[in-house]
Amino acid sequence: MSKRFRLLSFCTLCLTMALLLFSSPAFSVAPERELYELKIYHLKSKAQEERVDKFLQQAYIPALHRAGIKKVGVFKPVEGDTAAGKRIYVYIPYNSPDQFFKLPKTLQNDQKFVTDGKDYVDAAHDNPAYSRIETILLQAFPDMPQFQAPDLKAPKNERVYELRSYEGPTEKLYQNKVQMFNQGNEIGIFKRLGFNAVFYAEVLAGSHMPNLMYMTTFENKASRDEHWKAFGGDTEWKKLSAMPEYQNNMSHADIFFLQPTNYSEI
C-alpha cells in the first residue's frame, strides 16, 4: 500500500468520524429562536369585525402562505368577555427576522393579495376597517425556540386559549422572570402538566415593557381550571416559586381568554 493511499485513507476515516461525532445529539445545533408578531385589531362595530375577518381569511392568510409562513393563528375573546367582538388577535410565527422585515414589501408586490383584499386595502378614510392596530414583536424563549400547534380534540368554539402577559418592575427583574421560565424550568412544569403551550416569548417591542408573553391552550374552561389547580399545588412549582432568587420579579399580569376563529390554523 502506497504512502499516499494510506494518507488518503486516514483522512477519509478522520472525516467520517468527525461527521458522525458532530451529527450526534450532543453536538446538534440548537433550533433558531423564532420571531413572532401579535397583531391586535381594535374594532368599533360588528361590521368592522366581519370586514377584518373576510380580509384575513380570503386575502391576508393566503398571502402569508405564499410568503413562506405556514401557519397563522387568529383568535377572539371568549363569549362573556366584556370586550368580545371588539378585538381580533393575529399570531404570525416567522422563520427569521429577515422574513418579518421583508413582509410589507412582499405583500405590496403580491397582486393577488391586493386584489383579494381590495375592500380592506383601499378602505376610505371615513370608512376604515378597524379603529387601530396594536403590534407586539416577540422572540421565542430558548427552552421553547419554536411554536407548537396545540393537540386539542374539542370543537374550536369550546376551546380556551389563555394569553398571559407578565411585566417586570425593572429590566433586571424582568430578565430574572425569563430565567425562571428557562433555567428554572417553569416551562418544564407546564409541559409535564399538559398545558399545551403554543409559545413562550420575550416582548422585543410593545406598549407594555419590559414584558414576556405566553399562550397555553385547553379543551374547555373546566379543563383550564383543572390544569391551573394542578399547577398551583405542584410540588416542583411550590419549590421554584419559593426560591429567594425568584422573588419580586413581576409587577403586573394581564390574562386574556381567547378562542380560535373557524379559519385559524393554530
Domain that holds residue 57: 35-260
19-47 pLDDT, tens digit each: 444 445 544 456 789 999 999 999 999 99
Is 11 a residue whose pLDDT tops 60?
no
91-117 pLDDT, tens digit each: 999 999 999 999 999 999 999 999 999
Residue whose grid cell is 425593572:
170
In-domain check, residue 15: no
Any idea what DSSP says for residue 148? -
Percent of the chain surpassing pLDDT 90: 85
Q: How far is CA 112 from the centre of its chain?
A: 27
In-domain check, residue 18: no
pLDDT score of 174: 98
**pTM of the prediction?**
0.86
Residue whose grid cell is 393575529:
90
> How many angstroms separate the Cα of 112 from the Cα of each of 25, 63, 101, 220?
44, 8, 20, 38
In-domain check, residue 106: yes
In-domain check, residue 73: yes
- 234: domain CATH number is 3.30.70.100
In-domain check, residue 148: yes
Percent of the chain surpassing pLDDT 70: 86
pLDDT score of 79: 77
CA distance 71 to 51: 21
In-domain check, residue 217: yes
In-domain check, residue 103: yes
* Mean pLDDT (whole number) for 247-261: 97
Domain count, the chain: 1
* Mean pLDDT (whole number) for 207-235: 97
In-domain check, residue 22: no
Q: Is the Cα torsion angle 22, 24, 30, 32 positive or negative in sign?
A: positive
Is 84 a residue whose pLDDT tops 90?
no
The residue among 246 and 10 whose pLDDT is bigger is 246
